[in-house]
Structure 1
Amino acid sequence: MKQNFKDFKANIKNKHVAIVGLGISNTPLINFLLKFGCKITLFDKKNIEEFTNYEIKNFNKLNIKFVFGKNYLNYINNFDYIFKTPSIRPDIYEFENAKKNGCIITSEIEELLKYCPSKIYGVTGSDGKTTTTTILYNLFKISGYKTWLGGNIGIPLFEKIEQMNEDHKVVLELSSFQLMNTTVSPDVSIITNISPNHLDYHKDMNEYIECKKNIFKFQNESNTTILNDDCENTKSFENEIKSRIRKFSLKKNVSSEIIENGAYLKDNELYVLNQRLFSKNDMKIKGEHNLSNFAAAILATIPEVSSSTIKEFAKNFSGVKHRNEFVDTINNIHFYNDSIASSPTRTLATLSCFDRKVILIAGGYDKNISYTPLINGVNKIKKLYLIGSTKQKIYDVFKKYTSDIEILIFDDFKDLIFHAYNNAKENDIILLSPASASFDMFKNFEDRGDTFKNIVKSIKASK
């Protein structure tokens, strides 16, 4: 049940608060908490030399304390609240010890879920979160609702909470990191799918799944959960859900329950609540996974968004940057940027969008997941270029299961892309879809995608 924000202000007033990790969401949080008289200490594992003079001056100007460096968490005690960044596990020794001393461990997202007066729509899953969240946000926005976008995308929203009211819509993309140990669920929850991911962070696949379940675990009968009926993992959640369930499926034969209360595909037409909405061919963005993303988002918006608005949006929505994004054509060789693909399932979904074999660029940071599923896309790969920490793992999988694909391994990203272009044939497609995270060579997946696009620009400039 939602709590009154006045209670938060009363509880946090003049308290000693630790902010762990100077992330995107925690920077504005500092300014927000200072309004309530909080005594703030910022903790970050970076050394002080890694911060700019501007940042250090700003910390001093705000009159906050800061603890930096390798052993920064050794000093995290005697606080009333700890706001942690999602990338740090909540069960580390230092946090467990602080809890024993009466400290409340929380996060910007956790507090937003507790106190936000608006209806919250949360989206999680292994693939398709950002696209589904973006569709949902835009459908509400163009329908005239005051809509806020946050979580993994958008802006940090907790500091905006006093500007929100019951008539607004809040749309959140939620990762397993953000959902871990949360005790509040959104009003409407979407789970796009569940497949192995982030096993470098989670203890095992079971923990990863349990974190995802928090998106519906604390709902009640008045709430809604939207499930992918084509995914065995999400399908298995049904008996644990207390709220109303709506399902979506692209299979040929669906249950009467989905026909009446869900979304399904029939003769290439998308039906929602047994009403035809639009043809698969009407969508500007291609791929069955994107049709699933639309189905999930639409189920969350009906009846608050009209059918005509949905149809028009589907015709014009071209997708989100770094998600099978067309980059350029140079001498009839086509470049696509799918840098967001940090898992095999995501890469397979993108490969399915193309009507012919592609030159695939894959590899990156190792999240301790299996790359064997990539073999399911072998009939879509003409040539495979590998780079990054996972290059050997992916190479070993392909060498074990097939000898039909030429595989090339590189250490330099620019050299790889130039080689792929110089050895491509007319009308070839060069696709960056790494099936791996980016952190071994890049700041994030956006940095990787932008680097790819800039190299493509340099190829064009050299011609």
Structure 2
Amino acid sequence: MTKAEAFYNSIKGKKVAFIGAGVSHRDLLVQFAERGAQVTLCDKKESVEAFGELGEKLQQLGVQFSLGEAYLDGLKGQDMIMRTPGFEYFTPELQQAKAAGSEITSEMELFFELCPCKIYGITGSDGKTTSSSLIAEMHKAMGKTVWLGGNIGRALLPLVHEIRPEDIAVVELSSFQLISMHTSPDVAVITNITPNHLDHHKDMQEYIDAKRNILLYQSEDSKTVLGYQNDITRGLEKDVKGKRYWFTRFEKVDCGAYLEDNGDLCFIEDGVLTRVVNKDEVKLRGLHNVENLLDAIAATAGDVSFDKMALVAKTFSGVEHRIEPVRCLDGVQWYNDSIGTSPTRTIAGLRSFDQKLILIAGGYDKHIPYEPLAPEIIAHVKTLVLMGATGPVIERCVRDCEGFDESQLTILHADTMKNAVDTARGAAAAGDIIILSPASASFDSYPNFEKRGEDFKAIVNAL
């Protein structure tokens, strides 16, 4: 009997509450109910009808509902509570339930406990989706069956019974998923840690500690890949249980992956140097994507051959919403970089071009500092179109920044995405590049950055 089979047998008759019915829970709600668990769905929605077909199915399976303003009342008296990543772990009602004896877990925590194959876990403030995708593609190039999921889009626990020991799981992990985890992956990658999600975390230290959880429960046989240039990730070396690998594009390291002065992406271990590919052969745009390739090389070395790494580097064209070409119209090239939900992400996008850009930025305020973005805007942007709650904040930082020259940087404002696109188009001439890279979250206008990027592309493609 597999671990997954034993687990699902064990939940029969157990009282299990699910907080929310989002991506990570939709299939699990049905699976748990079909396996005989006494399931309660706790959600802010006011009625069962609001869940559509899922609500009807759950009713047929005997699922109980705790809805509306007092939805967390459903947590009382439960044997197990499944927390969705978006629900804050330190919410008083959840901690009270834990103190009363409820087991607090999540889809990802259970997956780590039940998965029968090797797990690669990737986290960081920037680059984790592209790094995860590169690692997955490298294993696919080796002929492996790869299960890619987590924060990247699909829940893996509902599929755990299909996974074989010889497969590979590649899991992107957010701080919200990691904050309560007590299991770590076989291979852990932390790209970097910069201020982010400070509207949800108590402070920067809580955010760092959540990220650190990815490596705290590793073993001496595990592997850890850390960004060398980031002070915080470099400082996590003291927490490494197994073998430590660095990645950086700025200097040679003793063990890991780095960029040579001649543009070669190199891997070194035990004094043996391998030149994998030259950056001029890499299909992805931008030096930040060279860094993503370097961490993928360091992570997969030993499991993936260097020629397969090079093949992926030369052919992988990127992930949607990440400096994604949209169209060329009237000689103006449009790019969708909606993944730019923080200043560091937008800075990476701006540095990917060798000319001054027209930038659309601004959105929901996560209470992160925008001062580091200002000099980059001055250096790389000729017209700045601002929108959303952070628009005035970004403008103030730019105007207060040394080197700001009103004659060299035009600042405009828009109240909707359509207005922003029209404003940017009006400011552009043939040969210009317009990029949406908001340096902000999307929640003031969209449920997530994907929907924001899709709306931007639809508007641009309709011009």
Does 2:223 align with 1:224? yes
Residue in structure 2 matched with residue 271 of structure 1 by the alignment = 266
CA distance in 2, matches of 1:115, 1:54: 29
CA deviation profile, 1:375-429 (whole Å, cap 9, x unmatched): 2312101111000111111111111112332111111221121121122122111
- 1:236 partner SS: helix
Task: Note closer, same or farther for the CA distance 1:52–1:16 as it changes in structure 2 (3 Å cut).
Answer: closer
- 2:143 partner SS: coil
Q: Give unmatched runs, 5+ long, in structure 1.
A: none
Aligned 1:216-365 pairs, distance under 5 A: 216-251=215-250, 253-255=251-253, 257-258=254-255, 261-273=256-268, 274-365=273-364
CA distance in 1, matches of 2:264, 2:285: 14
Residue in structure 2 matched with residue 442 of structure 1 by the alignment = 446
1:74 maps to a residue whose letter is D
Pick aligned residue for 2:417 from 413, 417, 429: 413
Deviation larger for 321-330 or 239-248: 239-248
CA distance in 2, matches of 1:49, 1:57: 8
Does 2:393 align with 1:393? yes
Tell me by how many angstroms 1:154 deviates: 4.1
Q: Taking structure 2 as the reference length, what is the TM-score of the superposition?
A: 0.95
Residue in structure 2 matched with residue 57 of structure 1 by the alignment = 56
CA contact (8 A) 2:147 2:170 kept: yes
Tell me by how many angstroms 1:263 deviates: 3.5
Residue in structure 2 matched with residue 94 of structure 1 by the alignment = 93
Residue in structure 2 matched with residue 188 of structure 1 by the alignment = 187
CA deviation profile, 1:72-116 (whole Å, cap 9, x unmatched): 112321110000111111121111111122100100000111121
- 2:462 partner SS: helix
2:461 maps to a residue whose letter is K
Residue in structure 2 matched with residue 16 of structure 1 by the alignment = 15
CA distance in 2, matches of 1:240, 1:266: 31
CA distance in 2, matches of 1:242, 1:391: 43
CA contact (8 A) 1:121 1:171 kept: yes
Backbone CA RMSD of aligned residues? 1.5
2:439 maps to a residue whose letter is A
Q: Give unmatched runs, 5+ long, in structure 2.
A: none
2:176 maps to a residue whose letter is F
- 1:57 partner SS: helix
1:393 maps to a residue whose letter is V
Residue in structure 2 matched with residue 458 of structure 1 by the alignment = 462
Tell me by how many angstroms 1:20 deviates: 0.5
CA distance in 2, matches of 1:262, 1:278: 12
CA deviation profile, 1:417-452 (whole Å, cap 9, x unmatched): 112112212211111000000010112111111111
CA contact (8 A) 2:49 2:56 kept: no
CA contact (8 A) 2:374 2:394 kept: no
Tell me by how many angstroms 1:139 deviates: 1.1
Tell me by how many angstroms 1:49 deviates: 7.3
CA distance in 2, matches of 1:184, 1:177: 15
Aligned 1:126-205 pairs, distance under 5 A: 126-205=125-204
CA distance in 1, matches of 2:216, 2:244: 13
1:267 maps to a residue whose letter is N
Residue in structure 2 matched with residue 381 of structure 1 by the alignment = 381
CA contact (8 A) 1:442 1:448 kept: yes
CA deviation profile, 1:336-384 (whole Å, cap 9, x unmatched): 0000110000000011100000001000011110111112312101111
Residue in structure 2 matched with residue 69 of structure 1 by the alignment = 68
Residue in structure 1 matched with residue 405 of structure 2 by the alignment = 403
CA distance in 2, matches of 1:372, 1:393: 9
- 1:237 partner SS: helix
- 1:372 partner SS: coil
- 1:278 partner SS: strand
CA contact (8 A) 2:257 2:265 kept: no
- 1:297 partner SS: helix
Number of equivalent positions: 453
1:444 maps to a residue whose letter is N
Task: Note closer, same or farther for the CA distance 1:53–1:12 as it changes in structure 2 (3 Å cut).
Answer: closer
CA distance in 2, matches of 1:265, 1:185: 32
CA contact (8 A) 2:375 2:398 kept: no
Tell me by how many angstroms 1:50 deviates: 7.2
CA distance in 1, matches of 2:381, 2:49: 42
Tell me by how many angstroms 1:280 deviates: 0.4
CA contact (8 A) 2:357 2:380 kept: yes
Residue in structure 2 matched with residue 432 of structure 1 by the alignment = 436
Residue in structure 1 matched with residue 43 of structure 2 by the alignment = 44
Tell me by how many angstroms 1:6 deviates: 4.8
Tell me by how many angstroms 1:138 deviates: 1.1
Tell me by how many angstroms 1:293 deviates: 0.5
Q: Taking structure 1 as the reference length, what is the TM-score of the superposition?
A: 0.95
CA contact (8 A) 1:183 1:218 kept: yes
CA distance in 2, matches of 1:154, 1:303: 27
CA distance in 2, matches of 1:74, 1:49: 16
CA deviation profile, 1:211-250 (whole Å, cap 9, x unmatched): 0000001111100110010111100111121121011111
CA contact (8 A) 1:348 1:376 kept: no
Q: Sequence identity of aligned pairs in percent?
A: 40
